[in-house]
Amino acid sequence: MNHSTAAPFTPGHRAPGPDSSGARLLAGWHATGRPATLADHLRRYGPPPFTGGTPGLVDSVEAAGLTGRGGAGFATARKLRGVMDGRGPAVVVVNAMESEPGSRKDQFLLAVAPHLVLDGAVLAAAEVGADTVHVCLPRTRTAQHRQLGTAVEERRRARLDPVRIRLHALPHGYVSSESTALVRWLDGGPARPQGSPPRSHERGVARRPTLVHNAETLAHLALIARHGPDWFRQAGTVDEPGTTLVTVSGAIAAPGVLEAPLGTPLATLLDRAGGPTGPVRAILLGGFAGTWLPAENVHTPLARRELAPLGASPGAGVLVALPHTACGLTETARMLAFLAAHGARQCGPCRYGLPAVAEDFAALAAGHAHPELLSRLHRRTGLLPDRGACRHPDGAARLAASAMRTFADDVGHHLTHGTCPAAHRPPRIPVPPATPLETWR
Amino acid sequence: MNPNRILRIDRIACTGQGLCGELLPELIDLDEWGYPILKDRIVPDRLRSHTRRAVAACPRLALHTDDT
């Protein structure tokens, strides 16, 4: 499914499990084990229920309590209303960039249920008065581009949609999945975050009010349009309703993408992915811009409210189990080097701060101690958040700070005795090459 | 009542020349690369003219004040 980078697993080839309880977005996949064609999709769900301008969808989405499944977790109805309140015709953008290296869920969803995502985008477009849906994909995923092209062509032949759907192949930078970077690219610029106001929902693509949603979010929206808010709330918690897609990898027997109600304990998610292959040292939650949690926290529910006190959040649903045999500092150093190389280099923190933190961390991981290394690392890490045009430095700082917290014993060991034995083993978390993007256009 | 005056930095335009930190040390620190760290976003009345000067002096036009 992903032909560009070395995938730690290939969820697309995983046989549908017998446990399909609670699956919504993946229900078709669990039932048939093959990607849904338009005919399959229409048989299962029927055509997208356009209300023809009558108010309805945004109220349903609000009552359902759907939040964005891209990481920020913003209320979907508020975004929709923001665009509806904007001046002039609107634009809808599907964010299918999924640049987080630990995440596969959007690629998987788009491969097995493309029409659910496209339904959601077209329904949202009809609701906000947009005539075009732009689907943004990374340029490197050629197979995905081809599959989605086929799906769009099926819909065009069937004259299913009242709006146009256009696919775009963008440069695959880590920060290119930021919504303002998509808007900037669609307007002919580089796929780098924009930062300054106005916000995309006020003035985005071609200066029009622009709705940018993650692929999974739109698929949930398509089901809410069909089954209503009460149905949606049958899964998840009162505060955080619905199911969510989770990518589980690392020291786990059956890594892959699964669907679970929000509020499911992390331990249950690990078990559903076949269970750990050995004692787990820590869990990386949220991916490269996420948070390391000690294994003691494994019973925490995957929910914003319960994770917030631990400094974590569900993010885009990435869960990596680190085995006891791995060195958390070495793994973190490699991820930080990648994040540093993939900054947009527009702001101070990404030009200097983040590369400096990554270098300090590499020295720590390599056991190159010098007296002020740790205090300098803490100070520099503290200077990253809130000082960039986007949240990239904030995410890197979260990763670095949580690693120093979670692997505090190792930090002490590396500083006083040099590297731990685990640091010499092959790394466990696949990290793409830490080379900057050749082109942003 | 006077509206609050809020300091804002255009992070993409800023190249870390560091003038703002020298002209307005009450509100702006500099990091080790010369990029501003806002100590407080709200400009007190007594610093309004200093702030105006710092805004005008930024060679990248990256320092702004907004009224709220």
Q: What is the pLDDT of residues A286-307, one digit of tens each?
A: 999 999 999 999 999 999 999 9
Of B11, B33, B35, which is closest to A389 when you measure between CB atoms?
B11
The residue-averaged pLDDT of B25-41 equals: 96
Structure tokens at A383: 């200077």
Instruction: Calculate the CA A1 to chain-centre distance.
Output: 17
With a cut of 70, say whether residue A142 has pLDDT above it: yes
What tokens does A423 get? 């640091």
Across the range A414-421, mean pLDDT stands at 90
Encode pLDDT of A32-61 as tens digits: 999 999 999 999 999 999 875 555 899 999
ipTM: 0.93
Q: Find the mean pLDDT for residues A55-78.
A: 92
For A347-405, what is each residue's pLDDT tens digit?
A: 999 999 999 999 999 999 999 978 899 999 999 999 999 999 999 999 999 999 999 99
> What's the pLDDT at A14?
47
Rounded Cα gap, residues B45 and A379, in angstroms: 31
B14: which chain A residues are within 8 Å (Cβ-Cβ)?
Answer: 347-348
pLDDT digits (tens, 9 = 90+) for A163-215: 999 999 999 999 999 999 999 999 999 999 997 767 888 889 999 999 999 99
Which residue reads 């975004």 in tokens? Answer: A79
Which tens digits make up the pLDDT trace of A94-141?
999 999 999 999 999 999 999 999 999 999 999 999 999 999 999 999
Positions of E strands within A286-396: 291-294, 318-323
Q: Which residue does chain B place closest to A348, by CA atoms?
A: B35
In this prediction, residue B1 has a pLDDT band, given cuts at 50, 70 and 90, of low
Local confidence band at A249 (pLDDT 50, 70, 90 cut-offs): very high
Q: Classify each residue of A85-108 as buried b or exposed e, where b means 16 or more C-beta atoms within 10 Å of its C-beta.
A: ebeeebbbbbbbbbbbbbbbbbbb
DSSP designation for A254: S
Q: Stretch A301-330: mean pLDDT, rounded?
A: 95
- What phi-psi label fits residue A159: left (phi over 0), alpha (psi between -120 and 50 degrees) or beta? left
Q: Helix or strand or coil: residue A432?
A: coil
> How much is the pLDDT for A2?
37
Per the rule left: phi > 0, alpha: psi between -120 and 50, beta: everything else, A188 is left
Per-residue pLDDT at B58: 96
Out of A194, A348, A383, the one facing B14 most closely (by C-beta) is A348
Residues of B in contact with A353 (CB under 8 A): 31, 33, 35
**Could you give the CA distance from residue A342 to residue A348 in angstroms, rounded to a whole number?**
14
Going by C-alpha positions, the residue among A133, A132, A142, A75 that lies closest to residue A107 is A142
Give the gap in angstroms from C-alpha B57 to the nearest C-alpha of chain A.
19
Least confident of A195-209, A213-227, A405-419, B12-26: A195-209
Ranges of H-type helices in A235-327? 266-272, 304-307
Q: Which of A178, A345, A352, A381 to mutate to test the interface with B (most CBs of B within 10 A)?
A: A352
**Residues in CB range of A415: below 8 A, 6 or more apart:** A364, A369, A373, A374
B10, B14, B37: residue with CB nearest A383: B37
In chain A, DSSP finds a helix count (H) and a strand count (E) of 17, 9
Q: What is the pLDDT of residue A9?
A: 38
The size of the A-B interface in CB pairs under 8 A is 36
Question: What pLDDT sits at residue A369?
Answer: 79
B32 CB neighbours in chain A (<8 A) are 352
Q: Is residue A12 over pLDDT 50?
A: no
pLDDT of residue A135: 98
Q: Residue A11's pLDDT is what?
A: 44
Record the tokens describing residue A68, joined without a space.
């964005």
Residue among B31, B63, B64 with most chain A CBs within 10 A, to mutate: B31
Mean pLDDT throughout B47-53? Answer: 95
Average pLDDT over residues A222-234: 96
Parallel, antiparallel, or unpaired for β B5-9 and B63-67? antiparallel
Tokens read off for A143: 């197979």
Residues of chain A positioned with their CB less than 8 A from the CB of B11: 195, 346-348, 387-389
Can you give the pLDDT at residue A7? Answer: 38
Q: Please provide the average confidence, as pLDDT, over all residues in chain A.
A: 92
- Nearest residue of A to residue B15 by CA position? A348
Peptide bond connecting A198 to the previous residue in cis, omega within 30 degrees of 0: yes
Q: Which of A184, A196, A394 to mutate to test the interface with B (most CBs of B within 10 A)?
A: A196
